[in-house]
Structure 1
């Protein structure tokens, strides 16, 4: 059976840039950002739409539906992203770029010492 002209498939909502980079089509938002808010923070699609102004409510629902249809694969995608993000943050905290280290040092100097 052929799809009617103008009928969108679920995958049409996304740009598959690489196995580790799936974005909402027409935006710079990765699906992991929307799904993190939905899965781990338990935000509603409407709350997520308020957070990501470049994504429509329809795109958010499509992202959630894509996740629900591919829970094992996309769930792993989100978990891998989260693990990578936490590891990268920990590494940056251990070895901040010189600019950030300098800012932290300046911030520390301006705070009154607790006595």
Structure 2
């Protein structure tokens, strides 16, 4: 994959995460291989090489998560502000009157027959 000026931060973060997972998988697979097929000395040698690398990866991941927490909070606040601003505003004239749906709901009903079926009409 070619990185250029058009790639965004999310793409770079995704690539870094993928590289970290590959390195971590290689380290664990090497340890598993030496544990199953190698000698004790081979396993010790692999553990000495792999342990510092896994610790670096864990430290880097924790640093990235610490950086991303304030960004996530900012994004949540922005989305909350957008949703609050996007809600329908009440009209000052509508505060005194009921909406038409509520007027219909609260008005008394009378029963009339229409072609043998009962039908409700609103009294206005």
Of structures 1 and 2, the larger Rg is shown by: 2
* TM-score normalised according to structure 1 size: 0.33
